[in-house]
Structure 1
Amino acid sequence: MNVDELNKEQQEKIEAAVFRRLLKHLDERKDAQNIDLMNLAGFCRNCLSKWYAAEAKELGSEIEKESARERVYGMPYNEWKTLYQKEASAEQLASFEQNKPKD
């Protein structure tokens, strides 16, 4: 079957499952720091939580920022930071400054 042959319900189920798999993968890779993700891919866990809240709003549901973060991080954000976030190196910060999105 070609992806174009999926109906909207099938496509949304698959996309939801892929999102859950991405969150599981990120949860299993706590060594992948947000700054590394930003430097390599241009997005991080914080971006995902912002997108989550924005899409919920677009669909008519207001989700608090911290609640969206907890969904993405699998725990309260401050707890995740305390347990897993490492201090960014000068090299990481320089790369981030050079490549950060221009909003």
Structure 2
Amino acid sequence: MSLIKWTEEDDGRIRLGLPSDLDLPMAQPLLDSLRAAFKASADVGVQADAVERISVACVQALVVAARDAAEQGNSFAILRPSEVLADACEDLGLAGWLKQWRRA
């Protein structure tokens, strides 16, 4: 069972709610959830306000999802990223990337 919550909205958008702890073992479930979401919808949002800990591998999974969405003309957004996620992106030199994909 994944700790990532899946919600399909009435308009067909998929929202993935991230858990508070996105440590290294969560990287593959996160990537799998993102891939499944994009198979189900061309509009995927990741609710990230609960993230209290995140590994580099999980940040990489989000970057891959954003890149793939852009290449395929899909919509992707990181919704309300937590301060921890924002700080991790800043530390990795990805503050600009987060700003591009962030939505309040």
Q: TM-score, normalised by structure 2?
A: 0.30
Larger Rg: 1
Greater strand content: 2
Greater RCO structure (CA 8 Å; 6+ sep): 1
Greater helix content: 1
